């Protein structure tokens, strides 16, 4: 297929690379991040605008940071909407507001095109290994049409429901991830404060019911102090903002999500907006006056 790809950051770049390696022709647009030479060497065509990329593409994929970015790329001057038409598909793989997603989809469908929201989980490692979890919302026929593209970038690919339901699943995912990071942080700092070796405690827990991907991957980051992203705290805070604002609209409480957000904010106060989200442990360490390995 001819694919327009907008958003070539930490995750978007390897995702686009997998599509190119699968034989698809890319039309790329710079959005904050310069276009990598490897895509150009592979034959990617650089377009001056999202409109130009949409005009020459069957499918337009977005992988940008936030709801306003998606709106700007789709509907701003020289945006995707000006180059879209019947038979084309927009796949938004960004993590954004579910309600806004449904509004964006309605506007794109009014122009004759189809729309899939397909946010991802798995971070930079998942993107590089084409092992992302992809949570989709949209029509079943559209999903089946673009499934080969999604399979080039991920492994666990699910059509959750209608448009916006993929974003709902991603928000739920980010709640779980944040609370798992918080739990692992508390457990390891508790172990260190109590005089045990937190690395050995982690090894013991990996074999039991407390085992998780967070304990496997992020606890190792905590112990080795490797807090380069990864997935930046600022981006996880954006996702938890979506969770908390949606909860208010639904008239429900997410108490532990709010606590996790405050712990991230404590990290940001120390200059950690760009740290990997596993660095939440630093906030717990401060409260305990104990550093892992310290």
Active-site residue set = 170
The CA distance from 105 to 116, in Å, is: 8
What is the longest distance spanned by two Cα atoms in the chain?
A: 65
Count of CB atoms situated within 10 Å of the CB of 269: 10
The CA distance from 38 to 17, in Å, is: 8
| Residue 259, SS3 per DSSP | helix
Count of CB atoms situated within 10 Å of the CB of 265: 15
Contact, 267 vs 275, CB < 8 A?
Answer: yes
Give the position of tokens 């904050």: 32
HSE-up of 68 (CA within 13 Å, CB side)? 1
């Amino acid at each position: 297929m001819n694919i327009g790809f907008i958003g070539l950051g930490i995750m978007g770049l390897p995702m686009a690379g997998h599509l190119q390696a699968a034989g698809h022709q890319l039309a790329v647009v710079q959005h904050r991040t310069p276009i990598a030479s490897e895509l150009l060497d592979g034959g990617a065509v650089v377009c001056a605008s999202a409109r130009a990329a949409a005009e020459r593409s069957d499918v337009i994929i977005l992988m940008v940071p936030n709801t306003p970015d998606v709106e700007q790329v789709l509907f701003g001057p020289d945006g995707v909407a000006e180059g879209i038409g019947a038979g084309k598909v927009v796949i938004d793989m960004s993590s954004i507001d579910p309600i806004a997603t449904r509004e964006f989809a309605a506007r794109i469908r009014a122009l004759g095109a189809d729309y899939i929201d397909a946010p991802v989980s798995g971070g930079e490692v998942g993107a590089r290994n084409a092992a992302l979890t992809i949570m989709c919302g949209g029509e079943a026929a559209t999903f089946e049409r673009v499934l080969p593209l999604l399979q080039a970038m991920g492994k666990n690919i699910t059509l959750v429901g209608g448009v916006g339901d993929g974003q709902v699943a991603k928000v739920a995912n980010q709640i779980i991830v944040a609370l798992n990071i918080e739990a692992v942080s508390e457990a390891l700092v508790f172990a260190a404060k109590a005089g045990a070796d937190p690395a050995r405690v982690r090894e013991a827990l990996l074999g039991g019911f407390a085992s998780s991907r967070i304990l496997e991957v992020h606890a190792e980051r905590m112990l080795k102090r490797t807090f380069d992203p990864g997935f930046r705290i600022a981006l996880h805070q954006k996702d938890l903002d979506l969770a908390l604002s949606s909860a208010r609209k639904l008239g429900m409480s997410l108490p532990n999500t709010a606590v996790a957000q405050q712990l991230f904010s404590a990290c940001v106060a120390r200059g950690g907006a760009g740290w990997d989200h596993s660095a939440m442990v630093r906030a717990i360490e401060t409260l305990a006056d104990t550093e892992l390995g310290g």
